[in-house]
Structure 1
Amino acid sequence: MSEAEEATTAQAPFDGHDCDLILCSTNGVNFHVFKLILWLMTTRAVFKHKFTLPQSEFQEDVSSVPVIHVAESSTTLRSLLLLCYPAATPTFDNLDDAKAVLEAAKNYDMQAALNRAGDLIIAQFLSDHFLDLYALSCQFGWEHHAQTAATRALEIKDLGRPSNGFNGMRDITALDYHRLLVYHYECGLAAQEVGDSLSWLGPSYRDMQMWRKCSCRGSGVRTRQVADVGTSTMVPWFDEYLILSGKELLARPCESTLLESESYNRAIIKAVECNDCGSTVVKSMDRFRALYIAQVKKVVATVRLREAF
């Protein structure tokens, strides 16, 4: 800001005239604040260094309130201060703005503001930026947020291929990325195993079409453990469905995989070609898929992101 330019005053709650300190952003916006709040939110050493400069280094406005020029833009500074003030919650226009606030909180050693910002950023951006948020969580040591973001990353098919790169990879170590890949793979294995043994099925399985005698049941089809009654031979189209859906889950171990499965539609098409299966297959498969999804979610939830060394 040139000397000819006049600073503007920030919007409430940073426009009060009873303040005892003014922070001026890089784009010339004055934030009227209270030293006590800044003192409470940061360490004494940082407060002394950042906000109690020698009097000769201060500028003063017409009301003789000290003015300190800081390195943050007004957008970043406002969000940071809102994190410090009680009963105030910022929202971020985009993830880059949120990252700038995190860096500012780190710079001023405002740990409480940093943790609060992490919670807000996860809540606001998780649905669209879970890989970048995984990277951020690793960068700032938020293991619980890293687990949340890693779980959402299960929606990515074949995670680890070059097409699955993301901006946040610049900010994390190879070890943190490896942790994510291992977690994704272990969840895939756990999900795939659900279809290999159906011992988790309850009594409701008994009246489903895939265990009834029908004209399409042949020899050479695999048997599986079913509920608590021992092994059972599958009808061919259902056996194929379990094999193919297991491969799909290995690559993408999440609920959406089963809801969007091509193998499901293929099984239905083959089943309706059988005079015995065709009349009830849709109802039976809908019921089975709901149980299948619930069990996959259950076993995947037991897999945890490995701790950093």
Structure 2
Amino acid sequence: MVTLEFILDGPYTSACLHPIPHTISPYSHMMESCSDSTPVSPPFNDPDADLIIRTSDGVDFRVYKLIMKQASPVFREMFTFPRGSQLNNSVVEVAERSRVWDYILRMLYPVGRAPSAPDPADYWPLLEAAKKYDMAGVREAVKHAMMVPAVLKTDALMTYALACVYGLPDAARAAAKASFQPWPGDGRPPLCIPEMQCMAVMAYHRLSRYRWACVEAATACAESSDLFRSETRWNGKSNVIHWPEWITALQKSTKCGARCPPSRAHKDSGLRAYIDDYIDRSIKSLRVEPSGQVVATTDAIGPILKAANVCFDCSQKIGSDAIVRFANVYAQRIDAAVAMVTLEFRLDGP
């Protein structure tokens, strides 16, 4: 009895279904006004300021035209109109809320406290304002805030959606890789977030294809024999087989009994069968999250330690440090393989 949820989404715009008014030109919000408004803290309550920016929630920011002209080509153009013109008045009513303009102005002003990192809920209106008023500095600041690891860990999909709409390829690629953690590939799809309603279907499709390619690269690395490959070296008398150090520490001893069978997949390596089991489990984990960190966790390597303790010789010869070292090398190989996969990025905004 499963039914498809159907919603008429309408035409795509960069400000769809968001509390930013559809009219994005600041010119239409300019007018002389003497109405009451909410005061603000310094330095935006300067009585000598020659411009008031009045937000949609009724907050007045008293600023200087000179600063706004330097920060925004849009504001510079406003102030080129003849004195007395509607577009050269002392009050500019804008569509954004006060918390958005508080962040913008604290970035622009040479005095006062620097703005703290914006709340993720403000990324969208800040990026839209940066686009509307052509403020490259605000755009870059929001981009860097979105790429902080703590933000990517919890809001990767939101970051990816906004990066695709506002042309931020670095943020899109970082978010695409981070999106594997909060949304395992075989788990329940994430709830729809508002920002997804502005993301083009093709952007989401590219994210899905990128994840699939990363899974293919990670599992191909796991299934490859390169990790267990030996080298033939001349020792001055004859050719001898040389194994990497992380392999020799795990090789099967002649004293190991029937309870510790040799590797089935890598018979010439001298490894034990529980290494095969570890690789098989890791492949399943990599299909959920194609990242090296999933193969080096305590849960991942714990069964190897338990299996090694079953064999008396293994329990004496193999220490946990050898197993951890092997898992870390394995994880590095996987991450290197996944890093070779690139996300196709296109600007999907209008």
Q: Deviations over 1:216-275 (max 9, x none)?
A: 454781127xxxxxx425311111111211221122112431234645322322222122
SS at match of 2:48: coil
Contact 1:83 1:117 in 2 (8 A): no
Q: How do 1:176-191 and structure 2 match up within 5 A?
A: 176-191=203-218
The one-letter code sitting in structure 1 at the alignment partner of 2:248 is D
Change (3 A) 1:305 1:285: same
Distance across 1 between alignment mates of 2:324 and 2:158: 35
Point out the more displaced range, 209-218 or 271-280: 209-218
Partner of 2:95: 71
State how many pairs are aligned.
295
Distance across 1 between alignment mates of 2:262 and 2:103: 67
Distance across 2 between alignment mates of 1:151 and 1:108: 31
Change (3 A) 1:18 1:255: farther
Distance across 1 between alignment mates of 2:64 and 2:72: 13
CA RMSD of aligned residues (A): 3.2
Partner of 2:50: 20
Distance across 1 between alignment mates of 2:107 and 2:80: 17
Partner of 1:221: 264
Partner of 1:63: none
Partner of 2:336: 298
Q: Higher relative CO (CA 8 A, sep ≥ 6), structure 1 or 2?
A: 2
Partner of 2:84: 55
Change (3 A) 1:210 1:308: farther
Query: Which of 139, 164, 169 is the aligned partner of 2:190?
Result: 164
Query: Which of 259, 271, 278 is the aligned partner of 2:315?
Result: 278
SS at match of 1:106: helix
SS at match of 1:221: coil
Query: Which of 275, 279, 283 is the aligned partner of 1:246?
Result: 283
Partner of 1:43: 73
Distance across 2 between alignment mates of 1:68 and 1:187: 49
Contact 2:261 2:272 in 1 (8 A): yes
Contact 1:14 1:32 in 2 (8 A): yes
The one-letter code sitting in structure 2 at the alignment partner of 1:187 is C
Structure 1: runs of 5+ lacking an equivalent: 61-65, 225-230
Partner of 2:165: 139
Percent identity of paired positions between Structure 1 and Structure 2 = 25
CA-CA distance at 1:14 after TM superposition: 1.7
Structure 2: runs of 5+ lacking an equivalent: 1-32, 229-242
Is residue 237 from structure 1 mapped to residue 274 from structure 2 by the alignment? yes
Change (3 A) 1:58 1:154: closer
CA-CA distance at 1:130 after TM superposition: 1.3
Partner of 2:236: none
Is residue 192 from structure 1 mapped to residue 219 from structure 2 by the alignment? yes
TM-score by length of 1: 0.81
Partner of 1:258: 295
Distance across 2 between alignment mates of 1:72 and 1:50: 20
Distance across 1 between alignment mates of 2:107 and 2:330: 43
CA-CA distance at 1:144 after TM superposition: 0.8
Partner of 1:99: 124
Contact 1:183 1:303 in 2 (8 A): yes
Distance across 2 between alignment mates of 1:112 and 1:193: 42
Is residue 148 from structure 1 mapped to residue 174 from structure 2 by the alignment? yes
Partner of 2:244: 203
Change (3 A) 1:72 1:53: farther
Change (3 A) 1:238 1:304: same
Distance across 2 between alignment mates of 1:305 and 1:296: 17
CA-CA distance at 1:161 after TM superposition: 5.4
The one-letter code sitting in structure 1 at the alignment partner of 2:325 is R
TM-score by length of 2: 0.72
